Structure 1
């Protein structure tokens, strides 16, 4: 199973989202380090709409996603961009 799929599965179980995108953005970071060519699954973006975020501030929402994905971060996921919303909230995506 890819890291992208693993992250998607964990988020589905934990947050039962109305909408979810897990995007591999590793290719955007090619050349940022001398030995990194942008392949692999090192940089991910999560866009998630879930009722679990209703009433929570931005920091609490991000913390809940980061806490869930801590094993992936500890295992080598270098960057995780998180965009959260509760149902009915405006998103740019």
Structure 2
């Protein structure tokens, strides 16, 4: 999947799951070129998401919720994901 399409797929999945007030998705794959984990073609991404749905959740639970929302993308398109999830 092209980079722009990956960012859009991540954005759509997170918008659907969390209705965020803030959502920033950055593709950092170019910074990891040549990295062993990048050889399979999956990307490195940075996500900042603010959603009321995270209220009362511990940071680990927020991260798990983001991973669950991204589902199959974690296996097919995302190698590494930096998450800042806030309520």
TM value normalised by structure 2: 0.84
Structure having the higher Rg: 1
* Alignment match, 2:16: 13
**Greater RCO (CA < 8 Å, at least 6 residues apart):** 2
| Structure with the largest fraction of helix | 2
Distance 1:42 1:58 in 2: 23
Task: Count the aligned residue pairs.
Answer: 82
Structure 2 unaligned segments of length 5 or more: list them: none
SS at match of 1:48: strand
Cα RMSD (Å) of the superposition? 1.8
TM value normalised by structure 1: 0.79
Question: 4+ residue runs of structure 1 moved beyond 3 angstroms?
Answer: none
Structure 1 unaligned segments of length 5 or more: list them: 87-93
| Structure with the largest fraction of strand | 2
